[in-house]
Structure 1
Amino acid sequence: MSKQHTAQAPVDPIVLGKMGSSYGIRGWLRVFSSTEDAESIFDYQPWLIQKAGQWQVVELEGWRHHNQDIIIKLKGVDDRDAANLLTNCEIIVDSSQLPELEEGDYYWKDLMGCQVVTTEGYSLGKV
């Protein structure tokens, strides 16, 4: 994985998805997107991962649909063994890359820790 660079920790990290199992023998990986439209995950670059306590930038070489999955190819990840090392890594970006929202719209990250109350006034707990 020679194309991965050590990076500084993001100021306000947000998880946009997760790398799944390897696909094939040439280093492709399944990806699970947490964005509203699954393909929107590719609008946010660079991607960061954290391995062994170190932040690394991973560079996207390509992506495509395969049946119901989205698969990705990362630069420097050229075989199944290298891809397997990235299985279950979270795909992270700095939240400053996210677009501004309209009044009354929120990102889920902004709701963490908020108290949930029904319209009748019953407290359901915290997000």
Structure 2
Amino acid sequence: MSKQLTAQAPVDPIVLGKMGSSYGIRGWLRVFSSTEDAESIFDYQPWFIQKAGQWQQVQLESWKHHNQDMIIKLKGVDDRDAANLLTNCEIVVDFIAVASA
């Protein structure tokens, strides 16, 4: 988690989903998308999370389907303990950045 980027707060934050429980021992997390098409959450970048009142930008390394779930791997999150710290974090994008893309 120490490799996550500290970022300025999104000007117009939009919640796209939420991180669920960790999956496995290598830092994967379940993800719950609020987008109309669940996979569309991956079309919007960069992602931000808020931990301890501070915004952090997180970088998606990989994602895949697992049974009925989708799971994600974030850069710098390499074990279950680091993934557990992100459980229930909302996935946010900056509407202004998305709208201008």
- C-alpha displacement at 1:3, in angstroms? 2.2
| Cα distance in 2 for residues equivalent to 1:24 and 1:41 | 22
| Cα distance in 2 for residues equivalent to 1:13 and 1:27 | 26
Distance 1:98 1:35, change over 3 A: farther
How many residue pairs match? The answer is 99
Deviation >2 Å, runs of 4+: none
The amino acid of 2:74's aligned partner reads L
Aligned alpha-carbon RMSD (Å) = 1.0
- C-alpha displacement at 1:15, in angstroms? 0.1
Identity between Structure 1 and Structure 2 (%): 87
Matches within 5 A, 1:3-42: 3-42=3-42
Match status 1:89 vs 2:63: no
Report the structure number with the largest CA radius of gyration. 1
For residue 36 of structure 2, give the secondary structure of its aligned residue in structure 1: coil
The amino acid of 2:24's aligned partner reads G
Q: Which ranges in structure 1 are unaligned for 5 or more consecutive residues?
A: 100-127
Higher relative contact order (CA 8 A, sep 6+): 2
Q: What TM-score results when the alignment is normalised by the length of structure 2?
A: 0.95
Structure with bigger strand share is 2
Q: What TM-score results when the alignment is normalised by the length of structure 1?
A: 0.76
CA contact (8 A) 1:20 1:30 kept: yes
The amino acid of 2:70's aligned partner reads I
| Cα distance in 2 for residues equivalent to 1:2 and 1:72 | 18
Q: Which ranges in structure 2 are unaligned for 5 or more consecutive residues?
A: none
- C-alpha displacement at 1:43, in angstroms? 0.4
| Cα distance in 1 for residues equivalent to 2:64 and 2:55 | 26
| Cα distance in 1 for residues equivalent to 2:3 and 2:60 | 10
| Cα distance in 2 for residues equivalent to 1:63 and 1:6 | 22
CA contact (8 A) 1:3 1:59 kept: no
